[in-house]
Amino acid sequence: MFQLSHLRSFVAVATELHFGRAAALLNMTQPPLTRHIQLLEHEVGVQLLDRSGGAVRLTPAGAIFLREAEDILRRSQAAKLAARRAMRADAGSVSMGFIPAASFALLPQLLGAIRSSLPEVHVSLREMQTDAQLEAIAADRIELGLVRPFAPRSFVESAPLLREPFVLAAPAGHPLLQAERLPLSALEGQPFIEFCRSESRYLYEIVAGRLRAEGVAPDTVQTLSHTHSILSLVDAGMGVALVPQSAWRLGYAGVRFRPIDDQVGLDVELHLVWRRGNPHRVAATVRQVMEQAFDTT
């Protein structure tokens, strides 16, 4: 098998088309350079350089081999750099899952903090629901996740990153918007767009549980799984909804928001999750930056 030093010698000669200049470029004398080319041609089994007539030219085989040799040298350098980065905690890559709602406000802030503190870290993002992220962490397909609270799992650890209140979302011009703040009782009998119990159980239970506790019964006209879908119906004038506060960032032109009085028990959380005992050094450093950005430590 030919050596990388032989490939470097060949690329230098093939680029300069002159043994003397190539030897100077490689900081070596011409005899060992010539020997490298001879050994390489013997190993490959074909003539790569035509030295007849006092000039150096690539043979057809040499022209093809040059492209491959340059690619091998590039990949060997990349492999060396990747191996060195693997020994560092502040450079490399990390894969992170996130639920769609994290992209409203939390994810942009986290990515900004990571770019600022760890400029040599690349974050590979995957949009996934909470259960899918937990499965991916168990299978080592992702290192970190942004999820809703979940039942304890033995293989993961988590930390809360964000807690935000629910707010009223109503179509522009709706009578409820005349007040700056609203009691939950204002939703009595109102056409209401609700989170789906089976597919958005966490959000459904918070809203439905609080409404039951207050004895408030809005008129549910639609149940949907995602905040952006709910807001699209609010924008169409089909009803009002209770959504996480960060949903205002979605920018629906025909939707207005109002805070709810007495927010106790009517807020929602996003958690950072990772595999217990994960030795991934870069993921651990990224996790520290994320926790510090939101003062969770």
Q: pLDDT tens-digit profile of 174-184?
A: 999 999 999 99
Tell me the CATH number of domain 94-149+277-293, given options 3.90.45.10, 3.40.50.2000, 3.40.30.10, 3.40.190.10. 3.40.190.10
SS3 content of the chain, % helix, strand, coil (to 5): 45, 25, 30
* CA–CA gap between residue 247 and residue 105 (Å, rounded): 8
The C-alpha atoms of residue 40 and residue 9 are separated, in whole angstroms, by 9
Q: Does domain 162-268 have CATH number 3.40.190.10?
A: yes
Output the pLDDT for position 49.
Answer: 93
The three-class DSSP label of residue 26 is coil
Q: What is the DSSP letter of 177?
A: G
Strand partners, 270: 162
- What per-residue confidence (pLDDT) applies to 297? 43
Contacts of 232 (CB under 8 A, 6+ apart): 252
> Has this prediction a pTM greater than 0.75?
no
Each residue of 142-187: pLDDT tens digit?
999 999 999 888 899 999 999 999 999 999 999 999 999 999 999 9
48 contacts: CB under 8 Å, gap ≥ 6: 10, 14, 37, 40, 41, 58, 59, 61, 62, 65
- Listed in sequence order, the DSSP H helices in the chain are 4-16, 19-25, 30-44, 60-86, 106-117, 130-138, 201-214, 227-235, 281-293
Q: How far apart are CA 181 and CA 168, in angstroms?
A: 9
User: How many C-alpha atoms does 213 have within 13 Å on its Cβ side?
Assistant: 12
Answer whether 4-86 and 94-149+277-293 agree in fold.
no
**Contact status, residue 174 vs residue 256, Cβ threshold 8 Å:** yes
Q: Domain limits of the chain?
A: 4-86, 94-149+277-293, 162-268
- State the CATH class of domain 4-86: mainly alpha
User: CB-hemisphere CA count at 13 Å for 296?
Assistant: 18
Per-residue model confidence as pLDDT tens digits over 224-272: 999 999 999 999 999 999 999 999 999 899 999 999 997 778 999 999 9
| Cβ atoms of residues 282 and 121 within 8 Å | yes
